[in-house]
Amino acid sequence: MNGSQVLVLGSGTPNAEADRVSSGVAIAVDDQPYIFDCGHGIVQRVVQAHARGLIAWDSTKLTRLFLTHLHADHTVGLPDLLFTPWIHGRDETLLAFGPAGFERMAGHILAAYSENIREHRAAHPTSADGYKIDAREISEGICYQDERVQVQALKANHGDLAAFSYKVITPAGAVVISGDTKPVPAFADWARGCDILIHEVYSSAAFVNQPPAWQRYHARVHTSTTELAALARAVRPRLLLIYHQLFWGRPPEALLAEVASGYDGTVISAKDLDIFDL
């Protein structure tokens, strides 16, 4: 399938769920995917999407990765992303971008799996480069560009953990991915007019029932449905796609209603393997 598409690989949170894996989004342009975050299960989701005919590309095309931050639910799938596509036949080094600490993380993963790498290279006809990672720590601004896309990074507020939001500019339009973040003043102007805004959220209605310590944490480093509605009014995306949703016992339609009470644009609650054309 040529053109530009957004594929939700993982729409979940750190809390394991029966029908959602943790964070991962693919933006594919002319069948070249760019992956944003790699929580557990995203390679399996790519395999499923390919098997179902949702995408023409397969796991061997997973060669570009952008991390919003280094929390486990956004990175624990990195060994899978390195080694499974390699076994499938990927022959290209994974080019990956992320915040401070990412280079050290990548080095430790390769060290931890050194015996796996050694044995596979000795026993199987795998490429010499397909398991490797070129991990680059980035700052704000344009962090990547090729003939298909330009990727821009903006600092996100996720407490004392280095974090970024990303804007992906394609020939068909722009996609903004919030990552985990408290709203920051620069975000609305930076994201304004994007075609798809993919944003995390927690339920304002259920927030009041959370223990005080969790209330303090989430209010400090995440975005409530009330805050997201205000942000969406400023950004005015063609589509607001909410992911990394903290339902806290409420159904997806309840979160949609919370956002819709303060925002009159199109809002969709993301599910794994949802796909959208740009």
Band of pLDDT at residue 1, cut at 50, 70 and 90 = very low
Q: What angle separates helix 102-112 from helix 78-88, to the nearest 10 degrees?
A: 50
pLDDT tens per residue across span 211-254: 999 999 999 999 999 999 999 999 999 999 999 999 999 999 99
pLDDT of residue 124: 87
pLDDT at 199 over 80: yes
Pairing of strands 150-155, 141-145: antiparallel
Residue labelled with tokens 């299960």:
41
Band of pLDDT at residue 2, cut at 50, 70 and 90 = low
Name the 3-class secondary structure at 155.
strand
Give per-residue burial for 98-134: e unless 16+ CB within 10 Å, then b: bbeebeebbeebbeeeeeebeebeeeeebeeebbbbe
CATH 3.60.15.10 fits 4-277, yes or no: yes
- List the chain domain ranges: 4-277
Name the 3-class secondary structure at 158.
strand
Of the candidates 247, 228, 249, 241, the residue with the CA atom closest to the CA atom of residue 270: 241
Angstrom distance (rounded) from CA 254 to CA 252: 5
Burial class (CB in 10 A: 0-12, 13-18, 19+), 2: exposed
Give start and end residues of each alpha helix (H) in the chain: 42-51, 72-75, 78-88, 102-112, 114-123, 187-191, 204-207, 212-221, 225-235, 252-260
Instruction: Give the number of residues written for the chain.
Output: 278
pLDDT tens per residue across span 83-136: 999 999 999 999 999 999 999 999 999 999 999 999 999 998 889 999 999 999
Query: What is the pTM assigned to this prediction?
Result: 0.96
Band of pLDDT at residue 197, cut at 50, 70 and 90 = very high
Phi, psi of 241 (to 5 degrees): -110, 115
